Structure 1
Amino acid sequence: MADYKAPLQDMRFLLNEIFDAPGQWASLPGLSESVDPETADAILEEAGKIAAGTLAPINQSGDEQGCQWKDGEVTTPDGFKEAYQTFAEGGWVGLGGDPNYGGMGMPKSLVGQVEEMMQGANMAFGLCPMLTAGACLALHAHGSEELKEKYLPKMYDGTWSGAMDLTEPHAGTDLGIIRTKAKPNDDGSYSISGTKIFITWGEHDMAENIIHLVLAKLPDAPAGPKGISLFLVPKYEVNEDDSLGARNNVSCGSLEEKMGIHGSATCVMNYDDARGWLVGEPNKGLMAMFTMMNYERLGVGIQGVGAAEASYQHALAYARERIQSRSPNGPQNPDKQADPIIVHPDVRRMLLKMKAHTEGSRAFITYVAQWLDQAKFAEDPEAKEKADGMVALLTPVAKAFLTDRALDTCVIGQQVYGGHGYIREWGQEQLVRDTRITQIYEGTNGIQAMDLMGRKVVGNGGKFFELFANDVADYINANQDDPAVADYIQPLAAVLERLSDVTESVIKAADGNPAEIGAAAVDYLDLFGLTAEAYLWVRMVQAAAPKAENDTSGFYTGKLKTARFFFDRILPQSVALAESIRNGGDSMMAFDEAEFG
């Protein structure tokens, strides 16, 4: 198995040469004094060292050993506790946190790169700080000042971790039917009772305390999702002096035996009159939790990019070393019995598909992160509103399209290895198992597609979609005479028109038949993702072209050739997707239940 290496050159290329991240940071009041190019570069460099030197070496052993449960306590795999302490002491948990409570205040466009390295090196471990950061975000946005002052500093510094407790045995996507109850106490706290399942890092031995954000219903709550409230429930109660007090009545009943991410504890959590504190307003907990959920959905997309990068690195190293048969154009390595498999066209097809989607996905994450930074830090109300709309539109695409392509990439990487890809020691089968969950948790990818098509497109008559379409169209109009991108502007314009046409057709069709939304959703999300990747690949070509002529490293020339492969061999899939969408949902909705067999 190849050693993980942080893709720092590509990250710097995106931040500095594509998106001018330092320029954006300097223009936003909340960032101008907290980050500069030198600081950002130092953060990337150090994060790469931790990912490669601390987290990657315990990834496979963590999978093999797994977390262990005994009498309600969870023990993490060897090395995880020490790695967590190193991670926390470096300030990495609070990298994007509010400096007023001990965070570092870094922009998401930078934090996202760090998160990718952590997830690519060790996804099971990376889930813990990812969930803590999400819990901090929800608490910061909706909690009282008292709760924020009490909990955020120790969560930012990693002394305490966070968990998100939504799902129940009978309630997954339909959270309106949860049964967990919250009874008011005389002291302003609440007694929480119920059971939650699939709680990632709900119990472990790495942090001193675990802060659960729990969805529950008050006694007089209205039915459905409008009756959900959000509560902060610590594993250990916290005294007035911020020291740990008594153990709360929250316990881990068991660990799930699951397909992948074995190094991460996926818990059944039981609450038996556990003390909790209301976060936000009564009966508005779902809105508060979605602050965290949307962060986690982008985080899951980042997980996918990290896994895809790891798979590509492994497969590329293997393809360069494994010798098998001769090149169809004659021996390339005549001194040996066979040529390395990288000479074969089909292996190149696999590697280039992996490379094209992985680098395109990283660019997409950075693109979304910049809109997040704009939404968070811009002072102009119109700019904030536009950024909020873009984030709402792009988040389900980032979660679903990127994780679908990530699993494809991991499976392709396994295929490059042939039989060795099916064997544990090479690491590829673990990547396939680990990455599979990214299509499921934080809302399945089908739900993401429905969210995109139903809420973000049809639900507002295409208003959010126009923001994206105008962004791409403005780029096309501004750069159509640039010789560096002359070969790509017309295909980009064509795929944008294709996406715009089917957007309009689904909006019209859904007016008379709401089932058309679900029928089109998954294909539409894929078409949207391909369009976004095409847009970003053209921008990468424009930045790489001037430097390609004198490029001796292969980085810039590789960018140009990967873009050519994407437009020649991947983007044509958009034609089939558009045709499928236009054909509507009659063929799937015409079935009676008995006709399924």
Structure 2
Amino acid sequence: MPDYNAPLRDLRFVLHEVFDAPSLWARLPALAERVDADTADAILEEAAKVTGQLIAPLNRSGDEEGAQWREGVVTTPAGFREAYATYIEGGWVGLSGNPEFGGLGMPKMLAVQFEEMLYAANSSFALYSALSSGACLAIDAHASADLKQIYLAPMYEGRWAGSMCLTEAHAGTDLGIIRTRAEPQADGSYAITGSKIFITGGEQDLTENIIHLVLAKLPDAPAGPKGISLFLVPKRMVEADGSLGAANAVSCGSIEHKMGIKASATCVMNFDGASGWLVGEANKGLAAMFTMMNYERLSIGIQGIGCADASYQGAVAYARERIQSRAPSGPVAKDKSADPIIHHPDVRRMLLTMKAMTEGGRAFACYVGQQLDLAKFAIDADERQRAEALVALLTPVAKAFFTDTGLDSCVLGQQVFGGHGYIREWGQEQLVRDVRIAQIYEGTNGIQALDLLGRKVVANGGAALKLFCAEVRDFATQPAAPYAAELLEALQRLEGTSEWLLQQATRSPNEVGAASVEYLQLFGHVAYAWLWARMVAVAEARQAEDEAFYGAKRATAEFFFRRLLPRTLAFEASIRAGAEPLFGLASEQF
């Protein structure tokens, strides 16, 4: 398994140079007192050490050993407990958590960069704390003051973990048909009864307690999604003084045997009259849970970026060393019998595709983080509202596009290795297996595409889309904006296709579902084109400071615009073909 080295130079380029995050933080009072450029750099440096030296070395061994279940007890692979103990000493679980309860209060722009490192180093390890961070967010946003006071501090510390219990054997995407019940008790608690599946970190040996956020229905709940409530259910009861008491009626029935992320425990969780407490309002639990789900969707999107970068690092190193055949232009390594494969055009195509999409995703993740910071910390109400609208629009794009391109990149990285990519010791086959789940969990990418087009574009007449397009156009129409003509053409394709779909959606109920996946791909490519143009604007201005680094940015952008952005032509053509070709077969003809 190759070493993982965090791409610190590129992370700083995006954070400081492209988005000028320190200037943004300086004008947001809640952040100005906590973080500046030096603080951010120090955090990134330490994060690189933690992920590269502590967590990455456990990736292959964790995959080979896997999480183990025996009589309801789950053990993580060798080294995980010790690494986790060191990990939480650094406060990483609460990196962007509420300082009122012990979180560090760091901006999301910085947190997304740490998450990329974590997923690149070891996706299975990353998931344990990612679920805790998301659970803290939901508790902080929706729970009562008493619940926050009891649970948030030990969760931010990492002594207690969090889980998200939504899915049931018969209810995945359609959560309105869940069967888990919640019966009110005389003391104000609820007795939770039901079974949940696919629960990441539902049981493990890393923490002394696990706080489950569980979707359930009250006895008089309305049918469907409007009858779902959210409950906090601890693995172990908590006494008035904060100490741990008796075990709650929660058990792990089994864990799944999976294609990848094998060191992450994916559990069947049984609630047998377990004590729980209502989070938020009755019958409005789905909205409260979406606070956590949207956090996890961005986080899982970043898993795609992290795995892609790890694959790219390995593929580049291999391509520089592996010698096979002579370069088409003539011998390069004249003292050897063949040339390094990095000189072959098709290998370069693969590596450049990986580089362009991974670095584009890194910039997009930082942009979404910027909007999350504005939505939370901006003083001006209009600025907060605009950022909230953009976050809602871009979250499904980030989750699905990052993970679609992340898998594509890992497959390309494996392909660069040829037969060696299929062999465990090189690490590429594990990355392909680990990243594959990211297109499935936290809402499949098909569902994300439906959310983008159906709810975030068609349902509101494209209002949030217009905000995004206006920002792209403002950049592209600036004097000397790089790739302005290509960017404006792609933007017009996105806008024109969106208008066409708004019209078609009123004529046929199938049009949104038929077009949604290609539409998300079209959107993602246009967004990356804008961000690559922004990166080039910086690179052109600073080329003389570091010709190698900034020159690589310009060359990668050129590849993106010439070889990848033209894909949008095909996406548009596929969308405009309409829904009819999907329904040419009767069901029995498949």
TM-score range, shorter chain: over 0.9
Q: 2:501 maps to which residue? A: 506
Any idea what SS the aligned residue of 1:4 has?
coil
Supply the RMSD in Å over aligned alpha carbons. Answer: 0.8
Residue in structure 1 matched with residue 297 of structure 2 by the alignment: 297
Residue in structure 1 matched with residue 432 of structure 2 by the alignment: 432
Give the 5 Å matches for 1:90-101.
90-101=90-101
Aligned residue type for 1:506: L
Offset, 1:593: 1.1
Task: Answer yes or no: is the 8 Å Cα contact 1:199–1:269 preserved in 2.
Answer: yes
TM-score under structure 2 length normalisation: 0.99
- Name the counterpart of 2:556: 562
Q: Which amino acid aligns with 1:333?
A: A
Runs of 5+ in structure 2 lacking a partner?
none
Shift of 1:332: 0.6
Residues 386-424 of structure 1: CA deviation (Å, up to 9, x unaligned): 001000000000000110000000000000000000011
Matched letter for residue 363 of structure 1 = A
1:209 matched residue in structure 2: 209
What is the rounded CA distance, in whole Å, between the counterparts of 1:495 and 1:476 in structure 2? 11
Correspondence 1:593 to 2:587: yes
Determine whether 1:489 maps to 2:477. no
Matched, 1:543 2:525: no
Partner secondary structure for residue 329 of structure 1: coil
Structure 2 matches for 1:10-409, cutoff 5 A? 10-409=10-409
Structure 2 counterpart of 1:375, one-letter code? A
Mapping 1:387-466, distance limit 5 Å? 387-466=387-466
Letter in 2 for 1:502: T
> In structure 2, the residue corresponding to 1:512 is in which secondary structure?
coil
**How far did residue 380 of structure 1 move?**
1.1
Tell me, in whole angstroms, the C-alpha distance in 2 between the residues paired with 1:279 and 1:293: 15
Structure 1: segments with no counterpart, 5+ residues: none
Alpha-carbon separation, structure 1, partners of 2:569 and 2:512? 19
Determine the structure 1 residue equivalent to 2:7.
Answer: 7
Distance 1:36 1:354 in 2: 31
CA 1:86 to 1:185, structure 2 compared with 1: closer, same or farther past 3 Å? same
1: CA distance, partners of 2:555 / 2:359: 13
Q: Secondary structure, in 3 states, of the residue corresponding to 2:252?
A: strand
Mapped to 2, the partners of 1:551 and 1:296 lie a distance apart of 36
**Deviation of residue 146 (structure 1)?**
0.2
The letter of the residue matching 2:534 is: R
Aligned-partner Cα distance in 1 for 2:495–2:509: 19
Task: Work out whether 1:576 is the aligned partner of 2:563.
Answer: no
Are residues 1:529 and 2:524 paired?
Answer: yes
Q: Which amino acid letter does the alignment assign opposite residue 141 of structure 1?
A: A
| Shift, 1:230, TM fit | 0.3
- Give, as a single letter, the amino acid of the residue that structure 1 aligns with 2:495: S
**3-state SS of 1:30 partner:** helix
The CA deviation at 1:271 is: 0.5
Three-state SS of the structure 2 residue aligned to 1:252 is: strand
**SS at 1:514 equivalent:** coil
Q: Structure 1 residues 77-86 or 542-551, which shifts more?
A: 542-551
| Contact 1:309-1:358 within 8 A present in 2 as well | yes
Give CA deviations for 1:159-181 in whole Å, capped at 9, x if unaligned: 00000000000000000000001
3-state SS in 1 of match to 2:31: coil
CA distance in 2 between counterparts of 1:219 and 1:148 reads 26
Residue equivalent to 1:469:
469
Contact 1:2/1:317 (CA < 8 Å) preserved in 2?
Answer: no
For residue 223 of structure 1, what is the amino acid of its counterpart?
A: A
Counterpart amino acid of 1:545?
E
- Cα shift at 1:515: 1.0
Q: What is the CA distance between 1:474 and its match in structure 2?
A: 1.0
Identity %: 63
* 1:2 positional shift: 2.3
Other structure's SS at 1:42 match:
helix
**For 1:503, what is the secondary structure of its paired residue?**
helix
Structure-2 separation of matches of 1:141 and 1:493: 39
| Amino acid of the structure 2 residue aligned with 1:145 | A
SS, match of residue 267 in structure 1: strand
Per-residue CA shift, 1:544-595, capped at 9, x if unaligned? 112224535x211100000000001000000111111112111112332123
TM-score by length of 1: 0.98
Aligned residue type for 1:113: Q
Deviation at 1:30, TM superposition (A): 1.4
Q: What do the CA deviations read for 1:311-334 (whole angstroms, capped 9, x no partner)?
A: 000100110111111111111111
Distance 2:103 2:546 in 1: 40
* 8 Å contact from structure 1 (residues 414, 422) kept in 2: yes
Q: 1:325 aligns to what SS in structure 2?
A: coil
> Deviations for 1:52-77, whole angstroms, at most 9, x for unmatched residues?
00010000000000011011000000
Other structure's SS at 1:460 match? coil
Find the residue that maps to 2:334 and give its secondary structure. coil
Q: Secondary structure at the match of 1:38?
A: helix
Q: 1:132·1:163 contact (CA, 8 Å) conserved in 2?
A: yes
Give the CA deviation at 1:374.
0.4
Query: Which letter maps to 1:459?
Result: A
Q: What is the alpha-carbon distance in structure 2 between the residues aligned to residue 84 and residue 594 of structure 1?
A: 52
Partner Cα distance (1:95, 1:123) in 2: 18
Q: Secondary structure at the match of 1:338?
A: coil
